[in-house]
Structures are given as structure tokens and as C-alpha cells.
Amino acid sequence: MRIKDYIKSRIILVVGWFFVYFFTFLIICLSINVMGIKEDLLYAFLFMLLITCMTFYLDYRREKKKVLLLHIYERKPQLLLEEPVRELDSEYMALLQDIYRHYYEKELELQHKQKDYQDFITSWIHDMKIPISVLKMGLEQDTPLRMEEKESFLEELEKMEEYLTKILYFIKIDDFHNDYIPVMVPLHRMVKKELKNFSKVFGYKKIKLHLEPLKEEVLTDEKWTSFIIHQILSNAVKYTNVEGEITISSSQNEKGIYLSFTNTGEGIKKADLTRVFNRGFTGYTGHQENQSTGYGLYLSKNLADKLNHQIFVSSHYGTDTTFTIFFPKVNDYHIH
């Protein structure tokens, strides 16, 4: 810290003391000449001036050391949390520590997001390689494709479309608030629209669908909520056994509206229930099927939180699994 910078930072004090000593000096000089007061007053004045200059000098050194410490903290901010420094005022030090904690939390959040992106992209590439390989093998055949092969290729193309949709929503989730339109939407419209995407799977797995009347309307963003419904249905048809059943129902109470999806099948172990929505979690069933990456439900939970909805899961292992989306009543609705 240069003296010039220090004077600028203390300009009011410097100017104030300058005028105090200037007028005091004039009064002392007039007193000596006019009234004949002894010159001892002048020496006392000079001594006080010396003390003031020394005070400013010591304050300058303290400020210079403070600036030096701030430069050190700028390069190594983690030192702020290790031990307090006497050269910095306690309130000033506390403010710096709060700023650094906020910065550190944001840095960890950014690192977490970058890790999410890296893991998701790696998983997505792995998912895309499988249908691409199947299609490539089919196109390399010299013989004409049979009808069942064409249907198999169409299924692989549908998988690729679903993976592309998933990564699109994953990218857009950070920009959620700029692409959010809450309106009253009939539940049956969203559910029936997404069910059409799984009509072929219902057919070849011979899954029986029980679709109860969905008469309620909910306040939500139709596009984002349809994505959540799609992921829950995808999970349901994936783990429903052949000739199994899927039941879709709704109910409501004073708190809000519940949309439930129940599928028969192996179910989820009790130990896995609390981790179903974790990033990359597939569970015992997912590992057995070797077709789960654990990101669909993770994205769904994140979106539901942003929409102020909730997702619950319950399961009777070996029998069935139920996923429920809760839509709070309109008066309690707010987005995150």
C-alpha cells in the first residue's frame, strides 16, 4: 500500500487534523506576539503534532499489513478459516469469512454440477452405443430385413429418441425458470399422451393396463411434468413382469392431488427405497436387468422439487411398486 493510497483512504481525517493544527498554530503565534505568552506553548504544539504524525504512521503500517494479508487471502482464501489475525478487525474478519464460506459453497456446488454433467454424459454415451451397435449390425446384413428385425430396429430408434430427450432435459434443467409456464392441466391429458409412447411395450410384454378416471386438474408446467410422468412410466414398464399389470389412479385431500403409478413385478428392496432417486442409483433389480442407468428418476426428483411437487415411492418386495406424484393445492403453490 502506497502512502498516496493511504492518504486517499484517510482523506477526511488528514484534512480535518490539518485544519485543526493550522488554526491552532495561528492562534499560538498570535498569542506569543500580541499577548506575550511564553513560547512553551509552541513546543507543546510541536510535541502534539509529532504524536499525531506518529499515530498516522503506525496506522499506515497497520493498514499496509492488512492489505498484504488480503492479497495473501486472495491467493489462498482457505487460510481465512484456519485462524483469526489480530491485524484485521474481528467484524471485518467475520465478514471475510462469511464471504469465503459463500464462495466455497458456490464452488462446491459448481464442482458437483460439473461432476453430474460428466457422469451423465458418460452414462448417456454408453446408452447410445448399444442401439447404434444393433442398428449398425442390422444394416451390415446382406439379406433383407425380416419384419421382427424391423420392429427391433424401431425399438432401438425409440430408445435413442428417449435418450436424446433425457439429455435435452438434463441440459435445460439449470435454465428451468426461463422455460416454465404454470397452467391448469388435466391429469388424463398428460397421462394418456405419455402412455401412447409405450403402446408397443405394453403389447409385446402383454401388460394389462388399469387406467382409472383421472378427473382432476393440477397447476403445473405441462412439458416438465410430462417428462416426469414419462420417466415413471418408463421405469414401470421396464420392471413389470410379462403379463403383469400397471394401475394408474388419482386421489385428493385437503392438501392436494395425488397421481399414482403401480406396477407388478419384483419390486424394490426396503434398503433401496431411500436411494431410488439418488444420482446413478440402479439398485439390485437394475443391476440384474442391466438396462438401468439411474438418471431418469434422479432428473424427475430434481424437476419435481423445482415445480414444488413431490415424488414418493413405496414397494412390497416381490409383489409391486408404486410411484406417486403429489401436486399441492393452488394456494400452497410456489416454484423453487
In contact, 301 and 169? CB cutoff 8 Å: no
Which string of b and e fits 201-226 if b means at least 16 CB within 10 Å? beeebebeeeeeebebbbbbbbebbb
CATH superfamily of 180-336: Histidine kinase-like ATPase, C-terminal domain (3.30.565.10)
What type of residue sits at position 228? I
Provide the pLDDT for residue 266: 87
Residues with Cβ within 8 Å of residue 292, at least 6 apart in sequence: 238, 282, 283, 285, 286
| Bigger pLDDT: 291 vs 244 | 244
What are the angstrom distances between the C-alpha of 22 and each of 38, 252, 307? 19, 83, 69
What type of residue sits at position 192? K
pLDDT digits (tens, 9 = 90+) for 55-90: 877 877 777 777 666 666 666 665 555 555 554 556
Provide the pLDDT for residue 252: 92
Q: Would the pTM count as exceeding 0.85? A: no
CA-to-CA distance for 187 and 196, rounded, in angstroms?
15
What nine digits make up the cell of 98?
462469511
Percent of the chain with pLDDT over 70: 76
Q: Which residue from 334, 328, 326 is spatially nearest to 301, judged by alpha carbons?
A: 326
pLDDT digits (tens, 9 = 90+) for 146-185: 766 666 777 777 778 777 887 778 777 777 777 788 899 9
Question: What are the E-state strand segments in 95-225?
Answer: 183-186, 208-211, 217-220
Lowest mean pLDDT among 139-153, 191-205, 302-316: 139-153
pLDDT band at 109 (very low <50, low <70, confident <90, very high): confident
Q: How many CB atoms lie within 10 A of CB 105?
A: 10
pLDDT digits (tens, 9 = 90+) for 203-262: 888 999 999 999 999 999 999 999 999 999 988 998 998 999 999 999 999 999 999 999
Is the pLDDT at 187 greater than 90? The verdict is yes
Provide the pLDDT for residue 108: 84
Q: Which residue from 170, 260, 255 is spatially nearest to 211, judged by alpha carbons?
A: 260
Q: Which residue from 220, 221, 198 is spatially nearest to 211, judged by alpha carbons?
A: 198
Tally of residues, the chain: 336
Task: Find the mean pLDDT for residues 319-334.
Answer: 84
